[in-house]
Amino acid sequence: MLTRLPLSLAMTTTMVINSGERKPEVITLSNGIRVVFDVDKGHPTAAVGALVASGSRFEDEHTRGLSHFMEHILFKGTEHRSSLEISSAIENVGGELNAFTDTQYTMFYMRVPAIHTPLALDVLSDILLHPLFDPAAIELERKVIEQEIYSFEDSPDDVVTDELLKGVYGSDPVASNPLGSVESVRSFKRSDFVDYFHGHFVAPDIVLSFAGDIDVDASARFLEDSFGRLAKGPGRAEWGIPVRAAVCRETERPTEQVYMAMALPGFAQYSRQGSILNLVSSIFGGNMSSRLFQRAREKEALVYSIGSFPVSFSNTGLLGVSAESSPENALRVQQVIREEIENMRQDKISMVELQHAKETVLGGFLLSLESFFRRMHRNASELYMRDRIRTVADVTEQVNSITLGEALSVIDDVFDTSQLAVSIVHGPEKR
């Protein structure tokens, strides 16, 4: 027989997490590189990764796109393996390997059956410690990245977000596109890669992270003998706090739809205000039950997709809103977004809405832990950005402790249309 909780009780239930969780283990190699082991024998696979202090926020006008180009070129040959041998070593055992360049770091990672973890460690260390920077490979990959940039420029939803960041942060590196430009990519010489590599791929600003069915002792010995011998660098410098603006940018592209991206003020990564804004965003536009989705899609049928999303960096952040519609609906969509921003400010939110948001955020967080890759990535980025890793219990306590008063205060600070930055991508004017 199915037993249901009374609705009033279900609405006020606080999510409680088992306090017996196993915490990730952190060790430090002799040169200061930190290693995270998140051991879970529940499934015979493993995710291994290296997070490096290399990204668009480390670049200047002369090196725009170099971090991303470096990410590509490290897969193009080492002292021991060709490009094909690098990829086939992992793929021929059923694994996958990849990397991505973000604003504040670059992540190299592999996912393999657990029995092949030693192989993944060997390949990872090879590409990060023994790259060739072969001039012929650089010239070939230069053309590949040009194609990637052209593809980006043909994607209106990418362009609208890129233009929004430029509108909010101007020329600050936090707004730079990690791809760089065709011009910058064409300008890099082999010596640029060598110099950048020796400045960024050094101890202690690399975090190695592992999740899944891992042999900690054997892995630690290998890592000390490989990454532990990496030279030390000067350490990561602090980034300045970028100045924020609220401007409107319009871009024309050959598209039938109108793409909209907007930004309200936000907060720094891992700040309490950032955690509060995450809950508020869930209520405002975070899912199909949110106010914005219900109004713009369910009630007025103006859009197919619309939503809000917090974006946080080390010392700044924003609350983004995105939508796309047909040209005849575009002005009405923008009006609805502005009205819902004002409604958040005037009508506030209820305790019931806040509790639902807590359950939504914590539930999504717990579901993400099913993925060894996500655990590996989360552990690495938290250790890199804040020098500690929050446990599930830490995250749960932080979210559950947020009060309605704190949420209302954040709404007053953020939901102000006078601080709204706007980016629009539309097609050519029809005559």
Residues in the chain: 431
Confidence band for 155, pLDDT divided at 50, 70 and 90: very high
Confidence band for 210, pLDDT divided at 50, 70 and 90: very high
Please give the full DSSP string across 273-289, using - where no structure is assigned.
HHHHHHHHHHHHHSSTT
pLDDT at 83 over 70: yes
β-bridge pairing 34-39 and 258-265: unpaired
Segment 1-28 mean pLDDT: 58
Identify the pLDDT of residue 14. Answer: 55
User: What does the block give as tokens for 377?
Assistant: 């990535």
* Whole-angstrom distance, CA of residue 411 vs CA of residue 267: 12
Number of C-beta neighbours around residue 430 at 10 A: 5
* Whole-angstrom distance, CA of residue 426 vs CA of residue 154: 12
Q: What does the domain layout of the chain look like in residue ranges?
A: 25-229, 248-426
Q: Radius of gyration over alpha carbons of the chain, in Å?
A: 23
169 close to 239: Cβ distance less than 8 angstroms: no
Q: Which CATH architecture has domain 25-229?
A: 2-Layer Sandwich (3.30)
For residue 173, give every residue at least 6 positions away whose Cβ sits within 8 Å of its Cβ, in sequence order, or none.
56, 57, 58, 59, 60, 103, 239
pLDDT at 217 over 70: yes
Question: What backbone torsions phi and psi does residue 288 show, to the nearest 5 degrees?
Answer: -70, -20
Identify the pLDDT of residue 8. Answer: 39
pLDDT in tens, 163-202: 999 999 999 999 999 999 999 999 999 999 999 999 999 9
* The domain defined by 248-426 carries CATH number 3.30.830.10: yes
pLDDT at 12 over 70: no
391 close to 398: Cβ distance less than 8 angstroms: no
pLDDT at 431 over 60: no
* Whole-angstrom distance, CA of residue 389 vs CA of residue 374: 14
Residue 149 Cα to chain centre, angstroms: 19
DSSP bridge partners of 154: none
- DSSP class of residue 106 equals E
pLDDT in tens, 396-415: 999 999 999 999 999 999 99
User: What does the block give as tokens for 242?
Assistant: 């970028």
In the block, residue with structure tokens 């973000």: 102
pLDDT at 5 over 70: no
Residue 176 Cα to chain centre, angstroms: 15
412 close to 146: Cβ distance less than 8 angstroms: no
Amino acid identity of residue 271, one-letter, is S
248-426 matches 25-229 in CATH topology: yes
pTM of the model: 0.93
User: What does the block give as tokens for 8?
Assistant: 């009033």
* Whole-angstrom distance, CA of residue 46 vs CA of residue 38: 10
pLDDT in tens, 314-362: 999 999 999 999 999 999 999 999 999 999 999 999 999 999 999 999 9
Please give the full DSSP string across 99-165, using - where no structure is assigned.
EEE-SS-EEEEEEEEGGGHHHHHHHHHHHHH-B---HHHHHHHHHHHHHHHHHHHT-HHHHHHHHHH
Number of C-beta neighbours around residue 248 at 10 A: 11
